[in-house]
A and B are shown apart, each in its own frame.
Chain A
Amino acid sequence: MINQPNLTIERSSVELTKEDFVSDQMVKWCPGCGAHAILSAVANVFPKIGYRKENFMFVSGIGCSSRFPYYVNTYGIHGIHGRAAAIASGVKIANPHLSVWMATGDGDSMAIGGNHFIHIIRRNIDVNIMLFNNQIYGLTKGQYSPTTPMGSVTKTSPQGTIEHPFNPGELVLGAQGTFFARVVDTNPRMMTEVMFEAARHDGTSVVEILQNCIIFADKTHDVVTNKDVRDDRQIFLRNGEPMIFGKNKDKGIRLNGTRLEVVTLGENGITEDDLLVHDTYQQDPGIHLMLAKMAYPHYPVALGVIRAALYPTYDDLVEEQIAYGKANAKIKNVDDLLNSGDTWEIK
């Protein structure tokens, strides 16, 4: 059954364009907000995915990112704080013929919605989660979030935060996630490529988008996304390719004992053959976890699809159980049920 999803989402009979997904609502994010680029990437990738436009559905919680459903012309629910994953679970289970997308932020999914976030991942329900990680509460105007770096001064941490932040990738993999990817909002091409892969994945896919909040956490990701340094501080992972990065394509990642290590090609006899080759589809999450945890300054930050392992999805298993139940049950309708077991006639 693995690798053979038994449900398909109906494909569009006509070629769709970006315009098919543009909503008539005014987009009310701040000028310069990273969310604009994400919206544009979604409108670009949806026609490529090829489903009927009526089969797309967006679900969100509360926060800046969660206004997303109003700005894209699909079916949609703008939910309540933290509950997008629970709402999306119900949508997908009740109607597996929908391509379900979820827009959420670091507070929405990892603070107030932490419970739903880990459980949708654990169940592997086929929902595509776009996690806008700007490391701050934007809509409530600048309080620290579960991903705010320790020590950051925010409105609710005037002396600096004293909380250890979550690394979303670590959380996703800890919850037995089958798909985790990371992108930056400054690279539209990377976003579309990875979102397409997320859509193709059967099961919960989480795409962490390192997003800039221009008002309350400007340049929070600058240390890895800044044009001048990004080539040396990012590595884009592709399945089957050796892990090479750097402005001069001369750095790489190898496994040294049980740990990852950054090496320079040509130094100390290191060649491409010494480097790790990315295996996106590996079931064992060990290396994926190490890759997801790589952080500046010791490592480049891993971007692209870090993990895409195939496991049965909850929604497929539900349909299997229903099909089995219907084929094998003696009770075929409610009248059968009402008259099952001990009953007697009174005249």
Chain B
Amino acid sequence: MVKTKSNVIQREAVVVKFVGDSGDGMQLTGTLFSDTAALAGLDLATFPDYPAEIRAPHNTVAGVSGFQVHVGAKKIETTGDLCDVLVAMNPASLKSNLKWAKPGATIIVDLDTFEEAAVKKAGYASDPLEDGSLANFNLVKAPITTLTRASLKPMGLDTKTVDKSKNMFALGIMYHLFSWSFDATYDFFNKKFKSKPEIIEANKTVLEAGYSYADTVEALHSVYQVSKAAMKPGRYRNITGNVATAWGFLAASERSGRPLFLGSYPITPATEILIELAKFKSLGAKVFQAEDEIAGICSAIGASYTGAMALTTTSGPGLSLKSEAIGLAVMTELPLVIVNVQRGGPSTGLPTKSEQSDLYQALFGRNGECPVVVIAASTSANCFYYAYMAAKIAMEHMTPVILLTDGYLGNGSQLFRIPKVADLPSITPPMAVANDPDYKPYRRDPETLVRKWAIPGTEGLRHRVGGLEKEDVYGNVSTDPLNHQKMVDLREAKVQKVADFIPEQEIMGEKEGDLLVVSWGGTLGPVSEAVEELQKQGRSVSHAHFNYIMPLPKNTEDVLKGFKKILVCELNSGQFVNYLRMTHPSFKYQKYNKVQGLPFTVSELSRVINQTLEEK
């Protein structure tokens, strides 16, 4: 589709946000927009932002559902601070999202929804489209409802069906704005509504009507041109963090030859991992939707004892419920991966918002001396890799591993360069062999301190494990004081030895300088973008982003010592910074924290980093 009339603006990156009522189909609109962007060769990151209620009251701020997409010709590391284009399908969504629009942003509204009652229900004193409050924006008042209905009138569909396709009108306007093709979206319609040809026809009609509207009225003044991103050659797909997590586990199961077992209980925002794995009985995945969080992890421990690659997935409150059982897995030294897709806490907290406030719980939230490996993914796409590594470490080191992701990574999506399973690191669990005369349940490999995995059914290896303290080597119940001390030390040392098998911590930037910015987990995008920006301006600042938390990489001390100041940024009140103070006490740490259920913005980080650099 060639654009002739409007001005063409070359852009390196554009942020678009679709907002509307919960039932307006904003998640689908955003997803289709992203798929088309990806096929157009752009890099991207997306983030859905939806309320905890399935359908909050119509036309209220509480019921606003949004989907933000950051597309670009450059490497896209965040979902974008503020948007260049805001598509608002009703007054409430405009009201709650205007603060996320850049000054001068293009705002496209469905004019038909700005009726007096709806404007008032959204909390406006006067109609924002008329009172001049949007004077600093490029406001496009599109009668979306009216034009959608008009375009479908010849088809004679019912009003409900017609109005459900309004979102496609908005999407059509966007495709005009970016001069993109309809192909990917048509493919989607054809697959999704295979048995309903009239719905396919209706959606196509409305999509084209939106496009033509934008073309005809020239309301947009200009269109964007974003050239293809320079990306590493390879085959790509768009993937959310939760799906990537699920697929990483499937890959680890295939590569290790250990069958996948997931025991899980639905909880926002982790449920999608359970849903995704439930699709793959065809790959031998056994997925057990348990009666509660405790049964989820306990069934996984049972499965692990029998030789399965065992998983349980949850979010913060669920991790609390699993604490006692994690202790059982530590005591029985069985492989187990516990995924915590973190959300805002404490208690039920902010189920649909993201936070990094479960780090303490992951590290310390159990009775007794109870060490587990803790690792954290840092992008939606690398959830695949860290899920894979979590399973690898769990099985090879016979230990529970807690994998921390968060709602932002889990629900957000990113382009993912598709690996070959054969190219992933090998996984070789320490299986005990039948009739091994030397087999003892707690005899350890002298290097790794890992015990053997003896699978029920195997001849000559019958043994019992359990939550009572174990006698060294033999595994019988023991209350001997010195044995207990020894076993406590061994369990700790075994987990610490994992540090010999994980990559060294990298520094982005110079190894010495004025300031090291430290972050971990889901904040990689905004922190690295902020640091890179300042590095370009010549500031002496570097960045260390941690994925391996317990144990920390062996070179952590060396990484920290090269800088005059260390600033730890995290989405909690300072949990990782305190962990560093505990493990590497010789440094003085500064911290920057935010606990609002929102990600960092690049601009706030740039400001804070600059301030830290300038302070004497």
Interface string of A84-106 (1 = CB under 8 A from B): 01111111111101100000000
A70 to chain B, nearest CB (A): 6
A144 to chain B, nearest CB (A): 23
Which of B81-89, B196-204, B305-313 lies at the interface with chain A? Answer: B305-313
Contacting B464 at CB < 8 Å: which of A53, A77, A347?
A77
CB closest chain-B residue, reference A21: B462
Chain A contacts for B281, CB-based, 8 A: 318, 321-322, 324-326
B428 to chain A, nearest CB (A): 18
Chain A contacts for B292, CB-based, 8 A: 115
A344 to chain B, nearest CB (A): 6
Task: Give 19 A-B pairs besides A325-B281, A325-B283 with Cβ atoms closer than 8 angstroms.
Answer: A54-B457, A69-B466, A75-B456, A83-B298, A86-B299, A90-B261, A91-B456, A95-B303, A95-B308, A98-B306, A116-B295, A322-B286, A331-B283, A334-B254, A342-B184, A343-B418, A346-B231, A346-B232, A346-B233
Asked if A343 meets B235 with Cβ closer than 8 Å, knowing A91-B305, A115-B295, the reply is: yes
Interface presence of B41 (CB below 8 A): yes
Leading 4 A-B pairs by shortest Cβ distance: A78-B466, A90-B302, A90-B299, A329-B282
A9 to chain B, nearest CB (A): 9
Asked if A333 meets B254 with Cβ closer than 8 Å, knowing A80-B467, A341-B237, A345-B235, the reply is: yes
B153 to chain A, nearest CB (A): 33
Interface string of B434-470 (1 = CB under 8 A from A): 0000000000000000000000111111111111100
B558 to chain A, nearest CB (A): 36
Contacting A89 at CB < 8 Å: which of B232, B288, B462?
B288
Interface presence of B552 (CB below 8 A): no
Chain A contacts for B250, CB-based, 8 A: 334, 337
B159 to chain A, nearest CB (A): 32
Complex Cα gap A70–B477 (Å):
9
Interface presence of B132 (CB below 8 A): no
Interface presence of A142 (CB below 8 A): no
Interface presence of A339 (CB below 8 A): yes
Chain A contacts for B360, CB-based, 8 A: none
Asked if A322 meets B284 with Cβ closer than 8 Å, knowing A76-B464, A90-B299, the reply is: yes
Complex Cα gap A115–B290 (Å):
10
Interface string of A53-68 (1 = CB under 8 A from B): 1110111001000000
Do the beta carbons of A75 and B462 come within 8 Å of each other?
yes
CB closest chain-A residue, reference B434: A54
Interface residues of B (CB under 8 A from A): 35, 38-39, 41, 184, 187, 231-238, 247, 250-251, 254, 259, 261, 263, 280-284, 286, 288, 290-292, 294-295, 298-308, 310, 324-325, 327-328, 332, 418-421, 456-468, 476-477
Please report the total number of A residues contacting B with Cβ < 8 Å.
61
Interface presence of A293 (CB below 8 A): no
Chain A contacts for B302, CB-based, 8 A: 59, 77, 86-92, 94
Complex Cα gap A93–B308 (Å):
10
Chain B contacts for A54, CB-based, 8 A: 456-462
Do the beta carbons of A80 and B295 come within 8 Å of each other?
no
Do the beta carbons of A79 and B467 come within 8 Å of each other?
yes
Contacting B456 at CB < 8 Å: which of A55, A344, A346?
A55
Do the beta carbons of A91 and B238 come within 8 Å of each other?
no
Chain A contacts for B327, CB-based, 8 A: 80
Asked if A69 meets B464 with Cβ closer than 8 Å, knowing A80-B324, A333-B254, the reply is: yes
Chain B contacts for A79, CB-based, 8 A: 298, 301, 328, 466-467
Do the beta carbons of A75 and B463 come within 8 Å of each other?
yes
Do the beta carbons of B306 and A335 come within 8 Å of each other?
no
Subset of 23 A-B contacts with CB under 8 Å? A54-B460, A55-B457, A57-B456, A58-B464, A62-B467, A77-B464, A77-B466, A78-B464, A79-B298, A87-B298, A89-B295, A90-B299, A90-B310, A91-B306, A93-B288, A95-B307, A318-B281, A325-B282, A338-B251, A338-B421, A341-B237, A344-B237, A346-B231
Chain A contacts for B232, CB-based, 8 A: 346
Chain A contacts for B41, CB-based, 8 A: 346
Complex Cα gap A335–B418 (Å):
9
Interface presence of A74 (CB below 8 A): yes
Most buried by B among A95, A322, A325: A95
Most buried by B among A91, A94, A338, A346: A94
B34 to chain A, nearest CB (A): 10
Asked if A83 meets B294 with Cβ closer than 8 Å, knowing A76-B464, A77-B464, A334-B250, the reply is: yes
A74 to chain B, nearest CB (A): 6
Asked if A339 meets B298 with Cβ closer than 8 Å, knowing A90-B303, A95-B306, A334-B283, the reply is: no
Chain A contacts for B458, CB-based, 8 A: 54
Contacting B282 at CB < 8 Å: which of A59, A331, A344?
A331
Contacting B288 at CB < 8 Å: which of A58, A85, A90?
A90
Do the beta carbons of A77 and B465 come within 8 Å of each other?
yes
Interface presence of A73 (CB below 8 A): yes
Chain A contacts for B39, CB-based, 8 A: 342, 344
Interface presence of A6 (CB below 8 A): no
Do the beta carbons of A70 and B303 come within 8 Å of each other?
no
Contacting A116 at CB < 8 Å: which of B235, B261, B291, B468?
B291
Do the beta carbons of B306 and A342 come within 8 Å of each other?
no
B461 to chain A, nearest CB (A): 8
B42 to chain A, nearest CB (A): 11
Chain B contacts for A268, CB-based, 8 A: none
